[in-house]
């Protein structure tokens, strides 16, 4: 297995964990010169190049180091994945990648093939996140395989790798469909093989990025209730000791979650409420219209399910609120703290007197 990273910070985390960075793919639509140098210094395997400026910056740094750098080019196939607009990355007007439709993808491929310190391995394509629609990956694969064939016929370059990105959806609420990943991979493989056969080209190495589907279900966030505000004939609010600082996903794009009062699981849930955070923002909401027990009160525990992905990496210190710890529970039931709770001293440790 490989990994994908999107910043020097993530590269450092992987490096410190002892990961073989020759199997790492460095994404991001805006890698700084410092990022590029740092990644090469630690032996990053592949840059997933987003545009011309980045391509030339990598060439310059590789030339300075007298080395050849492996890259993939991120190509935008023009596919609508039918997901949140904010995580839709496959359309032509996305900030990510170089579009096929505009002809710019052809241009950047030609440029990459001419650079002496660049080794173009293939293409990367990512259409979005939290994808459930049946044919999204297959449609993207057909576009990309046909494009590989086009580039081979017109420019003589055959891609060795096709990275189809990720985006497998996970069930945050009961109304989300269940995605059978093994069947989805089989359907995608069938579409790729059939299209390669029609186009009369060899099947490239196919890479997928399972993303949140690996760890989302493995995590749950536990909050303590601070207050329950009932406004007759209007709305009820259950306020917790966290919020958009540890989970900004609802504030960003209205992500759905399943919430429970964990210490009252056997009680009927007839209190319709918004579960909200403690930040000074009206948009600091964990979830709207949540059914909880009428008896929910100060000191109760609110469990928000399926938070194993993104929450920790997206957390902030808005309003100087410390981040919570992460506790890992082993198969034998034992528990240990793997990320310690932040202290107030942590929050001011970078401030200069």
Domain at 342, CATH number: 2.40.37.10
Q: How far apart are CA 71 and CA 94, in angstroms?
A: 21
Rg of the Cα atoms in the chain = 23
Of 192, 215, 238, the residue at which a domain comes to its end is 215
The DSSP call for residue 86 is G
Q: At which of 161, 183, 215 does a domain end?
A: 215
Last residue of a domain, one of 166, 196, 215: 215
CA distance 247 to 225: 16
Q: Among candidates 334, 338, 314, which has minimal Cα distance to 326?
A: 338
Give yes or no: residues 37 and 61 share one domain: yes
* Domain span holding position 176: 3-215
Q: % helix / strand / coil in the chain, to the nearest 5? A: 30, 25, 40
- Who's near 288: CB < 8 A, 6+ residues apart? 274
Distances (CA, A) of 295 to 154, 235, 257: 69, 16, 21
Residue 182 DSSP SS3: helix
Give the up-direction half-sphere exposure of residue 167: CA atoms within 13 A in the CB hemisphere: 26
Q: What single-letter DSSP state applies at residue 335?
A: E
Q: What is the domain-level CATH number for residue 61?
A: 3.20.20.10
Answer yes or no: do 7 and 129 share one domain. yes
Indicate if 171 and 49 belong to the same structural domain. Answer: yes
Residue 352 lies in a domain: no
For the question of residue 305 being annotated catalytic, the response is no
Question: Structurally, how many domains does the chain consist of?
Answer: 2
User: How would you write the pLDDT of the chain (353 residues) with one tens digit per residue?
Assistant: 899 999 999 999 999 999 999 999 999 999 999 999 999 999 999 999 999 999 999 999 999 999 999 999 999 988 764 443 444 444 555 677 888 988 999 999 999 999 999 999 999 998 877 877 768 889 899 999 999 999 999 999 999 999 999 888 899 999 998 888 888 889 999 999 999 999 999 999 999 998 888 899 999 999 999 999 999 999 999 999 999 999 999 999 899 999 999 999 999 999 999 999 999 999 999 999 999 999 999 999 999 999 999 899 999 999 999 999 999 999 999 999 999 999 999 999 999 98
Residues 170 and 251 in one domain: no
Are residue 193 and residue 243 in the same domain, yes or no?
no
- In a shared domain, residues 206 and 301: no
């Amino acid at each position: 297995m490989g990994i994908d990273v999107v910043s020097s910070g993530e590269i450092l985390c992987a490096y410190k964990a002892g990961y073989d960075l020759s199997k790492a793919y460095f994404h991001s639509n805006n890698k700084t010169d410092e990022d590029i140098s740092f990644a090469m210094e630690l032996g990053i395997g592949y840059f997933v190049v987003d545009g011309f400026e980045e391509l030339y910056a990598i060439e310059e740094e590789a030339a300075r180091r007298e080395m050849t750098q492996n890259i993939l080019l991120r190509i935008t196939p023009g596919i609508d994945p039918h997901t949140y607009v904010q995580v839709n990355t496959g359309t032509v007007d996305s900030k990510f990648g170089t579009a096929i439709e505009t002809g710019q993808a052809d241009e950047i491929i030609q440029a990459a093939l001419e650079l002496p310190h660049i080794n173009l391995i293939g293409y990367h394509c990512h259409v979005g996140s939290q994808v459930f629609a049946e044919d999204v990956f297959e449609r993207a694969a057909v576009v990309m395989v046909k494009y590989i064939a086009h580039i081979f016929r017109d420019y003589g370059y055959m891609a060795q790798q096709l990275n189809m990105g990720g985006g497998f959806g996970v069930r945050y609420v009961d109304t989300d469909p269940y995605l059978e990943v093994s069947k989805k991979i089989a359907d995608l493989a069938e579409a790729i093989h059939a299209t390669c056969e029609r186009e009369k080209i060899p099947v490239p190495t196919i890479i997928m990025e399972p993303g949140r589907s690996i760890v989302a279900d493995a995590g749950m966030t536990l909050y303590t209730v601070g207050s329950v505000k009932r406004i007759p004939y209007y709305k009820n609010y259950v306020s917790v000791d966290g919020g958009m600082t540890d989970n900004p996903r609802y504030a960003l794009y209205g992500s759905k979650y399943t919430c429970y009062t964990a210490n009252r699981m056997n009680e009927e849930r007839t209190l319709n409420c918004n579960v909200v955070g403690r930040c000074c923002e009206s948009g600091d909401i964990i979830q709207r219209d949540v059914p909880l027990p009428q008896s929910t009160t100060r000191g109760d525990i609110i469990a928000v399910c399926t938070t194993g992905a993104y929450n920790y990496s997206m957390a902030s210190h808005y309003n100087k609120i410390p981040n919570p710890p992460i506790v890992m529970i082993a198969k034998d039931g034992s528990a240990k703290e793997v990320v310690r709770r932040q202290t107030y001293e942590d929050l001011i440790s970078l401030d200069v007197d």
